[in-house]
Structure 1
Amino acid sequence: MLSPQWLRSFATLAELGNFTRTAERLDLTQAAVSQHVKRLEDALGQLLVRHPRHVELTPAGHALLDYCRELATADQRLQLRLSGTDAEHGEISLISPGSIGLALYPLLLDLQAAHPGLSIRQRFAPTSEVIEAVLANRYELGLVTLKPDDPRLSVQPFVQEPLELVVPAGAAVESWEDLVRLGFIDHPDGEAMAGRLLSRCFPGSPGVRSLPCKGFTNQIGLILEPVARGLGFTVIPRFARKAFARADTIRVVEREPQVVDTLWLLHRAEWPLSGRAQRVLKCIEVLQNDKNY
């Protein structure tokens, strides 16, 4: 194990190139600095070529200096992670379903642009993976569509999100037969979402499995592309529809009753949120308060 004090003496000597100035900066004797370098050379081989007025690093010395820099960087990262009160530096980690994730990501980027010391790490995932990732402390914040009951988690309602029946802009949908004519654009949660919404909006219908399937994609940002091109209809959560850039090419069919899901915010209950996470929650409150979302 290399002593941090030896490494500090070596790194300072490499910077200043002189034993006397190194000793003065570190408030040590020159003999102490020489002893630290000797201990390192006993362990690692020749690190310096000593000239009358300066020192020169050998290849091994350059390798050790790189190691010292890596340690300093790792120490800075550790200090940032441990400094929970610092709201303007460090990593923001959030894991959520794709629909709400599409709405959150631009807000998080706005936050990072305002505070360049922050780093955004966001992942889209189903509820089971979100819970596991937060419990394993791989992500500080998570959003899920089903409320977990694990006592290790702090859970609170975040926002409500309706399911929406989305059709091409020019399509007229008044009956089940109109949906049959259009055909269904499926996605990983498509059948379940469509089943929940369509069974209420079109009671007595044969069900979503009776509809012709006109396409499938597992990329949430692409689900509405075939709908926009007139190739079918789909059922998706509102935030996914709001994130679609070409709003004029699609239309939401408003029917009662609605199906509305509650999204739940969760984090570990045993320790407080970092200052960064608290700043994020303040930033994304707009999703709860702005009716445009």
Structure 2
Amino acid sequence: MDQQLQVFVTVAELKNFSRAAEKLHMTQPAVSQYIRSLEITMGSKLLERSNKFVRLNQAGEMVYYHAKEILGLYTKMHDLMDDLINQASGSISIGASYTFGEYVLPHVIKRVHQHYPLIQPTITIGNTFKIANLVLSHQIDVGIVEGAFHDKHLVIEPFAEDLMYIVAAPNHGLARKSISELEKETWIVREQGSGTREVTEKMFQSIGIAPKEKLEFGSTQIIKESIAAGLGISLLSYWAIREESARGSLSVMDVNLLPIKREFSIVLRSPFQTKALNVFLSLLREFRSKSPQEFE
């Protein structure tokens, strides 16, 4: 069954039988046979096929979702058994929200690679909501999320503090503005489900403003570029703006309100961890509030 599911997932993701066969080092007829066998087992057609496309139907979407979870658990089981007799090695799937994933995680991965070269990490970046759901469905081994996140089905461990600042273009005159004047500004915010968006909305409530002009972008990098271009202002993590602030391409507002503090948290589902995952978690906890230079 695990081979059928692996073939099915590969076809579903590549949307092509011949490319799936190439990736799996199989013949195309063999791939087709695995799909037919799975459809017989499931009692339903799972893929819509034509000369131009291969795509999941409604039944296929359901099987694909659970197949990813089953294959993730199957891989984890093999890794745990392998750990009983071998050193830390193998794959770990890591998910991280944008701020940590894009600006901090690469430094942690570098250290993993330096000291444990047999560990093979794969990285998924998304907002806090997406990463938590991937952990819940066993599609990734560990998540790192931002802000106050709660879920009774997950083990959540705050492990590092993050500081957030209001930033603008250098010629914006932000430093001369009062808190009340911030309501008139154009705010560039992250999408719903983002930890940064959650902190931004809480800040609006705490200082009693309700900005009418908001632009919603799904990437911190795009937000920074937009700020530098003079499109608006935003609340961003120290980690996201430290280089731009140091060279003067972004300006930080200096008021008693700031910085706003939040936490980065480790998110886990399973109580069983491979040696590779334990190694990663140990290095992650060492990070705490160090700078990348101190960490390396």
Quickly name the TM-score band, shorter chain normalised: 0.5 to 0.7
TM-score for both structures, normalised by structure 1: 0.59
| Paired AA for residue 172 in structure 1 | G
1:91–1:245 Cα change, 3 Å? farther
Unaligned runs of 5+ in 1: 1-62, 68-75
8 Å CA contact 2:245, 2:252 repeated in 1? no
CA distance in 1, matches of 2:185, 2:203: 17
How far off is 1:260 after superposition?
2.2
Aligned length: 213
Report the Cα distance in structure 1 between the residues aligned to 2:150 and 2:198, rounded to whole angstroms.
20
Partner residue, 1:82: 81
Q: TM-score by structure 2 length?
A: 0.58
Match of residue 183 from structure 1: 186
Percent sequence identity over aligned pairs? 14
How well do the aligned residues superpose, as a CA RMSD in angstroms?
3.6
| Aligned residue in 1 for 2:279 | 279
**Correspondence list, 1:125-140, <5 A:** 125-140=126-141
Give 1:244 shift.
Answer: 5.8
**C-alpha distance in 1, partners of 2:78/2:183?**
59
Does the CA contact (< 8 Å) of 1:98 and 1:240 recur in 2? no
1:218 Cα deviation from its structure 2 partner:
1.4
What is the match of residue 146 of structure 1?
A: 148
Deviates more, 1:250-259 or 1:171-180: 171-180
CA distance in structure 1 between the partners assigned to 2:255 and 2:87 by the alignment: 44
The CA distance in 1 between the partners of 2:141 and 2:204, in whole Å, is 36
Question: Is 2:230 aligned against 1:255?
Answer: no
* Farther off after superposition, 99-108 or 240-249: 240-249
Instruction: Report if the CA contact (8 A) 2:79-2:274 is conserved.
Output: no
- Tell me how far 1:227 sits from its aligned partner: 1.3
2:288 maps to 1:288: yes
Tell me, yes or no, if structure 1 residue 196 matches structure 2 residue 199.
no
Q: In 2, are the aligned partners of 1:182 and 1:231 still within 8 Å (CA)?
A: no
> What is aligned with 2:94?
94
Residue 271 of structure 2 aligns with which residue?
Answer: 270
Instruction: Return the alpha-carbon distance in structure 2 between the equivalents of residues 184 and 233 of structure 1.
Output: 5
Match of 1:115 in 2: 116
Deviations 1:195-230 (A, max 9, x none): 322444xx454x12x2x34x5431222220121233
C-alpha separation in 2, matches of 1:78 and 1:257: 48
The separation in 2 between residues aligned to 1:233 and 1:245, in whole angstroms, is 14
Quote the offset at 1:118 in angstroms: 2.1
| 8 Å CA contact 1:87, 1:274 repeated in 2 | no
State the AA in 1 paired with 2:186.
G
Q: Report the CA distance shift for 1:139/1:191 in structure 2 as closer, same or farther (over 3 A).
A: closer
Whether the aligned pair in 2 keeps the contact of 1:220 and 1:240 (CA below 8 Å) is yes
**Cα deviation per residue 1:164-183 (whole Å; 9 max; x = unaligned)?**
21111343222257646763
Q: What are structure 2's unaligned runs of at least 5 residues?
A: 1-25, 31-74
Contact 2:161 2:261 in 1 (8 A): yes
Q: How does 1:209-228 map to 2 (within 5 A)?
A: 210=212, 212-213=213-214, 216-228=216-228
* 2:188 counterpart letter in structure 1: I
CA distance in 2: counterparts of 1:178 and 1:147, whole angstroms: 31
Change (3 A) 1:114 1:105: same
Letter paired with 2:236 = I
Structure 1 residues 281 and 204: CA distance shift in structure 2, 3 A? closer
* Structure 1 position 230 matched with structure 2 position 247: no
Moved more, 216-225 or 108-117: 108-117
Q: Give the aligned residue type for 1:121.
A: T
Residue 83 of structure 2 aligns with an amino acid whose one-letter code is G
Question: Which residue of 2 is the match for residue 164 of structure 1?
Answer: 165
Decide whether the 8 Å contact of 2:169 with 2:228 is kept in 1. yes
Q: Given the superposition, is the C-alpha separation of residues 270 and 181 from structure 1 closer, same or farther in structure 2, using an over 3 Å criterion? A: closer
Give secondary structure in 2 for the equivalent of 1:223: helix
Structure 1 186/275 Cα, relative in aligned 2: closer, same or farther at 3 Å?
Answer: same
CA contact (8 A) 1:172 1:178 kept: no
Partner secondary structure for residue 284 of structure 1? helix
Deviations 1:235-289 (A, max 9, x none): 1233333476985201221323343223321223432x22111211232235314
The whole-number CA distance in structure 2 between the counterparts of 1:165 and 1:198 is: 12
SS in 2 for 1:230: coil
Q: Against the structure 1 CA distance between its residues 110 and 93, is the aligned structure 2 distance closer, same or farther, given a 3 Å change threshold? A: same
- The aligned amino acid for 1:120 is P
